[in-house]
Structure 1
Amino acid sequence: MTGTEPAPADKEASESSQGLARSLFRVSLPRWRGGRYSLSKLFFNFYLLAMGSFVAIAFTADFIISTAQRGITDDYARRFMRGTITLIEDELFRHPRTTWQRNIKELDEKFSYKLDIVERMSLDRRLTPVQVSKLDAGDIAIDHDGDIMYHRLGNSSQVLVVGPLAANRNPELAERLPLELRLRLLTWSLIGVIFGIALWFWVRPIWRDLESLRQTARDLGDGNFDARSPPAISQLIAPLSDTMNSMAERVQQLLATHRELSCGISHELRTPIARMRFALEMLTETDETAERERLWGMMEADLDELDHLIDTSLTYARFEREAPQPHFSSVQFDEWLADEVDSVRLLGRQLQITVDTEKLPEKLNVDLDRKAMPYALRNLLRNAFKYASRQIVVSAEVDGERILIHVDDDGIGIPPEERDHVFSAFTRLDRSRDRATGGYGLGLAIARRVLELHGGTATAEAAPLGGARFTLAWKAHQ
């Protein structure tokens, strides 16, 4: 079986399909600002986002924890300061109320935090209702915002104010705040640096993989459909890289199928169209009824041939474009095989067609796709009808876990070096017999695709009858 060089029209069809694929890839490529998105920009954007989120989470957690512990802290502060406040109160009650302001100033100089006395009514706007109720009940009210404690002096309208406790007058204690602040800043700086280094080593391989994917997509968009993305360094990008390569292989396969169908169909269409054109010219030049009927019959045969070519090509394209999901069902195999052969027996005309199932176990059930498998068997039978001289034998047997169907004819056979090529689309034996028998080289290609759906094979070899034997083999039970 040999092919011919594609005509200019075929080359144009092939180039147009590749151009369409290139345009689709170009549309799908991301629009990178400035043509390139820098690694440093990606790193800093991600660093700021991650670090900002981390700091926000830390401060939020600290706020929640401090709020939850506030009640415990208040109780501890009240117990801790109750003795001091009681001593100050006792000291004030030892003097007349008119001298309390002078006495509190004297005591204030002896404490590291501020002491003062204010009127009860001045605190209504400063304290919350809960704090006011505690103050009126004789308890210690704590203002968290100012870190100040309030205690009512007996039944008087005077309130002792202690604090702010943080603003102490001890130089050593005063230095604690800036020291603590410096330690916090140093800690957060170290955390930021360590996080940045770790993030850099994490982002860098991801960036390299993204660059490789971008370059592969650009190559595919430029029409280099052999381009593949290298193995990804990062496990995060590995599934995307595998998907990109699978997509590229699928696109390449679809383009090859499109090109193959375009070239093959363009060649196959020329012969019936040329015959129809010749018949139409002859019709205009003859008035004989018999000749006109003969020419009409020729044109009808050419139309049937064109219809069969289109139907077969669409079937092959469907299998090549996207393999349908097989739907297996169990059938009694000998009955199914006999029914399928009987459905096309009339096409064999005078040929002797025999079905041999003696090697099969009785009532053998086989799993197969009842919609797809008939395509394979009928195409093998049609091929045998074209080349057989007198006899065709369809037989079946079980070989281990596999079921085998043989279609034998007594035709001219197939040379060993061409037995695998006959399953390629638009491939036919380069013999004068082909022109007499017709065909497009698609039937055997469809048969092989159907068997691939079943996880099996379609092969060709010499037949015991002297012609060709085609064998379909797949697992009897899926």
Structure 2
Amino acid sequence: MNRLFFRFFVLVMLSTSVAAFIVYFTINRLFGDPLASIARNQAAAPIFLLEQYVDQAPPDGWLDRLNKVREVSDVRFDLVPLATARRQLAGKDRDAFDRGEVVIDIAHRALLRRVDLTGERYIGSEGEAIHAQNLPIDIRVALQMEGLRYAIVALALLIPIGVWSRSHWHGLQALMKVADSFGAGQLKARAALQPGDSIYPLAERINLMADRIQTLLEAQRGLLHSVSHEIRTPIARLEFALELLHDTAQDTLLQKRIGSMQDDLAELKALVGELLGMARLDSDQPLRYETFDLTEALRSCAHGLPPAPVSLDVSVPDGMGSYYGDCRLLMRATGNLLRNAQKYANGRVALSAASRPGGVSITVDDDGPGIPEEERAHVFEPFYRLDRSRDRGTGGFGLGLSIAGKAVALHGGTLTIETSPLGGARFTISLPPASS
């Protein structure tokens, strides 16, 4: 935010400077150089003596009057060859000099003018020019005045803009805080601005949008939670009824079909449990922070996995220390990754962990087919499954990785996917340093 207004300030300053140059060159183009006009006014006395006293003398008295002016004036008047004078000028100044006009040389505090175009002043005067030096020219004051003028204009622009921008800045800061809080899951966060604030209409629309999103999300969570809870009762009844039916059935084929129905019901029950887990992660309930031993928790998580035909290598070093977080949620995320690896591994799964200055990393590797790079950004979406997982052999609902990703994100960590050295997929949980 500060960068935005700093750039705005620099833009205003640059625009003011460019406008000053444009004004100067426009006036110079239309009305002549304003600095030359100032210098001519400062040299008005020597020019007046030259034009109104020396030039008004009769032809035989022109040099006499020029010498008298030399005696009483601090300005040095010299006669120089016409060619020498012309070499000191260029462009428009040379053209004006050739027409017999007075040309001011501001840099050298001097002026040049032809003595006469026709030689009537005295014999040979058409080939000479007057070179007056040490003129009372000082444009520093004029430049200071111009600079002060543009500074006053710049301040007159910047002060109102600064006051106006300050209110914008405070309003945008408030909106930014609301956006951060809302994005962090605080759905009740709103922007509290006054109707007189400049961005109040924007804040009002953002609040309306937040109200609508909060309503939709709470309705979705409530529906998911209610349906998941309500569906548990008929599932329990069906389990009881199928168990009684299985015990009383005499036909082997019927018993087989009832067993298949029990498997489907168990899968439905597991899906309801996963949905309830997702609903709890999306709720506003705070995490159950506690200090736990990371080494012991990871080893217990690995040993608590269901039996699988693949081997599990656990490489969790001793003395990893304690971590402050929701142990149940973090171990569930790790367990989901391990169970996912068991489903797709050909024969080997590896769990490793390491402490580092920036936090803790937990890695799960497998030697399965891996995950294509274009699919890695989608596997954490709820109910998203790769094509080969849509069968009863691998099972799953596409919620395990989504729950793992949410659990890690709630702790301020990241969950990434790479190619494993074993040949399959590598999931890496990166947790920030624990702060109690």
TM-score by length of 1: 0.42
> Which of 1 and 2 has higher RCO (CA within 8 Å, sep 6+)?
1
TM-score by length of 2: 0.46
